[in-house]
Amino acid sequence: MSLPAAQPTLTGAAMTEDRKILTLQQFISSEEKLHPEATGEFSQLMRDISLAARIVSREVNRAGLSFILGEANLINVQGESVQKLDVYAENAFLSALRLGGMVGVYGSEEQDDVVPLAECDQRHGKYAVLIDPLDGSSNIDVNVSIGTIFSIYKRISVQGAGNLEDCLQPGLQQVAAGYVLYGSSTMLVYTTGNGVNGFTLEPSLGEFILSHPGLKLPAKPRFYSINQAVMADVSEGLKDYIVDVEARNASVDKPLLNARYIGSLVADFHRNLLQGGIFIYPGTQKKPQGKLRLMYEANPMAFLIEQAGGMATDGRRRIMDIAPEALHQRTPLFIGNSSEVERVMSFIVKNG
């Protein structure tokens, strides 16, 4: 039996004109040209994020071999045990943004307070970045996809390094948001308010290549994602919505909405973005604000989903309208196809 011809990897020779390969750098430059007032600083900031993402991707993909699995014997501000890769990712993004000089202040899940980046000089450092450097870290040791989530604002302060006020802006003020998914392939998906575009890392080139231009939620949702273990502790309205989903599924031969829950926000979100669905992390009696953080999980995902034609609320309010009060504040999150988000909200409004 003859083996199939080996597929040429993407190399200089194989990258002929007809492959229409557009790198992230080329895409960023083309976007910059659409804004005559652009100074190139945002483009540089995205290049800094891309560099850190490639550095983290390399380590995530060989974590088992480079002995950085397991706990780092640290506890973060969330009271969660910090995994070694968490620390690695935090250092990679903070260093890249600090050295890049485009960011004046940095807020991270892994840091108790905001980090002013005094390295920025007056001209640079006009951005504030909020980030979860490695979300889903409980999945690291079991080789389940994990991710980085980031949110970018223009600073309010104009003098020197930035401050907490620069970070505590409503999600509507975001100038960009995105995530890196470290999965079977590494993807960078982001928006600047002009649609959502996905880039896949080509390891042989060390470049992100445009692979999912103009991402839009499919009109028909296929999945609902919720941790069934908390259902006893959620609102009556949400319980009624889940009963409604089960009844709709039972009324047809093939379920309308399949249950899928990975326990890694970036992975669950990415699947629902591509195939349609709703992701729910609700408040409970014990934790009315739920688990997910507003500034570096809910807001960036809300910006992305709205740009892809969907919706994101806390069960009652649009996520991006929420006026933040604290860097690590949490919020319930209902995000995905508008039809399903509106449906669950109607049950919550009716039954609490």
Which residue ranges make up the site for ligand P6P (CB under 6 A)? 135-136, 138, 227, 263-265, 268, 281, 291
Torsion of CA 76, 79, 82, 88, to 10 degrees: -30
Return left, alpha or beta for 140; rule: phi > 0 is left, psi -120 to 50 is alpha, else beta: alpha
What are the distances in angstroms from CA 282 to CA 65, 138, 245?
37, 19, 16
DSSP symbol at 345: H
What are the distances in angstroms from CA 341 to CA 220, 245, 276, 304?
13, 12, 12, 15
Q: Please state the closest distance from residue 44 (CB atom) to ligand P6P, in A.
A: 29
For residues 134 and 109, give the distance between their C-alpha atoms in angstroms, rounded to a whole number: 9
- Which residues, 6 or more positions from 332, have their beta carbon under 8 angstroms from its beta carbon? 281, 282, 283, 288, 289, 290, 292, 314, 315
Q: Please state the closest distance from residue 120 (CB atom) to ligand P6P, in A.
A: 30
Backbone angles phi, psi at 228, to 5 degrees: -60, -20
Backbone angles phi, psi at 234, to 5 degrees: -100, 175
- Type of residue found at 136: G
Beta-bridge mates of residue 49: none
- Which residues, 6 or more positions from 28, have their beta carbon under 8 angstroms from its beta carbon? 43, 46, 47
Do residues 106 and 120 make contact, with C-beta atoms less than 8 angstroms apart? no
User: Residue 127 or residue 279: which is nearer to ligand P6P going by CB?
Assistant: 279
Q: Which residue is nearest to ligand P6P (CB)?
A: 265
| In the chain, beta strands by DSSP E | 71-75, 81-83, 103-108, 115-116, 127-135, 146-154, 176-182, 186-191, 196-202, 207-212, 223-225, 258-259, 277-281, 311-313, 333-336
Q: Please state the closest distance from residue 140 (CB atom) to ligand P6P, in A.
A: 10
Do residues 132 and 149 make contact, with C-beta atoms less than 8 angstroms apart? yes
Torsion of CA 135, 136, 141, 142, to 10 degrees: -140
Go through the chain and tell me how many residues it has: 352
